[in-house]
Amino acid sequence: MQRRLIAGDIHGRYGALCRVLEKAGYCDGSDTLYCVGDLADRGEDPVATLELLMSLSDFRPVLGNHDLWLESWLWSGDPDPVWVGWNGGDMTVRGIRKKDQGFRERLRGWLAAIPLLRIEHDAIIVHAGVPCGGCEADLLPLLNQPRKVPLLESIGRLESLLVWDRAYLKAAEDSSPSALPFNTEKTIFIGHTQQWRTGLPFICRDYHLVALDTGAGSGRGPLTVYDMDSGEFWSSPV
């Protein structure tokens, strides 16, 4: 039976990715694999991770902030100093520079096809969060028009919120009375903010939220894959 699985922030953790997909019994060609973004950087082999993800027959990620940094560098040739200096981008840049130009072009085209968000019949998938008190109609402009490529140089307010802002997760963690839940019956899947203290997905039914970054990027927690229909999940230490 076809399953819908979704991975937390992968961050170039090639070994952990292979192990957690094996634990989940992932079957390429049958299962669909979603991801909340941040595919490369920080891990031991960002390039092998990207090559594996690019090879999958039904992989449906959204863009994270690390993916935007990578895309920007592939177009401009000038890596953001914040990315390469403090956020693991140096590892990705060094690895990609060892590949031929054809790989860079394929990667650039592949990234250009990844959206900022996905809305399914029962799920909303973004990297960082959604507007507190918002609704699906607020997100529709980003679904109804092609995104800019590269996006980072001209990112808008709503786009930036989806990729960077942690306010919605914080509101759910604090059950803040001043920050209303997003108006939806769908489950909102996010990453971006590490749940390394528990190493477990953070789930808040009142805010329709499942947060899946369990700390693989920093090496302080595992990489998690979650079954979007059953709620079962699997984790693999990095």
pLDDT tens per residue, range 51-75: 999 999 999 999 999 999 999 999 9
Token look-up 């039976």 returns 1
* Portion of the chain with pLDDT greater than 70, in percent: 100
Return the number of other C-beta atoms located less than 10 Å from residue 179's C-beta: 16
Record the tokens describing residue 97, joined without a space: 């520079």
Q: Are 124 and 189 in contact (CB under 8 A)?
A: yes
Mean pLDDT, range 23-51, rounded to an integer: 98
Per the structure, the count of domains in the chain is 1
| Mean pLDDT computed over every residue of the chain | 96
Q: Supply the pLDDT for residue 184.
A: 97
Burial 182-204 (b: 16+ CB within 10 A, else e): bebeebbbbbbbbbbeebbbbbb
Q: Supply the pLDDT for residue 49.
A: 98
Token look-up 């307010």 returns 157
Helices (H) and strands (E) in the chain, counts: 9, 10
Strand 187-190 with 202-204, pairing: unpaired
What backbone phi and psi angles, to 5 degrees, belong to 214?
-100, 15
pTM above 0.85, yes or no: yes
Q: Supply the pLDDT for residue 178.
A: 77
Q: Supply the pLDDT for residue 18.
A: 98
Neighbouring-strand partners of residue 224: 235
Least confident of 119-133, 169-183, 189-203, 221-235: 169-183
CA nearest to 54, candidates 28, 81, 82, 23:
28
* Cα–Cα distance for residue pair 1/8, rounded to 1 Å: 22
* Cα–Cα distance for residue pair 27/25, rounded to 1 Å: 6
Residue 85 to residues 14, 41, 81, 88, 199, Cα–Cα distance (Å): 22, 11, 5, 7, 26
| Domain limits for position 187 | 4-236
CA nearest to 126, candidates 162, 155, 171, 164:
162
Q: Supply the pLDDT for residue 176.
A: 72
Q: How many CA atoms lie within 13 A of 100 on its CB side?
A: 1
Encode pLDDT of 151-184 as tens digits: 999 999 999 999 999 999 999 999 877 789 999 9
Record the tokens describing residue 121, joined without a space: 């019949």
CATH code of 213's domain? 3.60.21.10
Q: Are 60 and 134 in contact (CB under 8 A)?
A: no
